[in-house]
Amino acid sequence: MKQLNEVAELLVGPGSPMPGAQVSQDEAVRIVRERYPYSEYCLVSNWRWIDLDVTPEQRSELTRTNRHPVVIYAHTVIYDSQRRWDVGDFVRTSYLHKFEDGFIFQTLNSIYILIGDGVRIRASLETLGRIF
């Protein structure tokens, strides 16, 4: 039961409010195409910024590979340029590479535009692994 509660907290539990882009879908596409004309991108809403609890060794490995122990879980895909996900699907990113302008979440292979406000939470790798 404890594990189920942890997963529920991760997906829908309270957290700290975090602002995202307050722009239309068309404006979000314009921004990403202007800044990153050759990158794949995904527009998401109803998102959760997940700070992951990692060991010093795990953090060191992430740092060595230019990543941070953070992922985004979004309940709603608005649009994915590679068509990996359909409109309305959920998505979980890989680890954060760069975060810019308060709404551009970059991994090593894609850019996620965080549309609307989200929630920031903390979770263990084990809890994250239970849902993916």
Range of the domain at 85: 2-131
Unique residue bearing structure tokens 């239309």: 24
- Residues 112/28, Cβ–Cβ less than 8 Å: no
Give the integer Cα–Cα distance in Å for 39 and 55: 31
pLDDT band at 21 (very low <50, low <70, confident <90, very high): very high
Pairing of strands 70-80, 41-53: antiparallel
Mean pLDDT of 52-64: 95
pLDDT band at 88 (very low <50, low <70, confident <90, very high): very high
Mean pLDDT is lowest, of 46-50, 97-101, 127-131, for: 127-131
pLDDT at 131: 77
Sign of the C-alpha dihedral computed for residues 121, 79, 83 and 8 taken in this order: positive
Pairing of strands 118-124, 41-53: parallel
Total number of domains constituting the chain = 1
For 37, the token pair is 């004309």
- Residues 97/77, Cβ–Cβ less than 8 Å: no
Residue 57: CA count within 13 A, CB half-sphere: 0
Percent helix, strand, coil in the chain, to 5, is 30, 40, 35
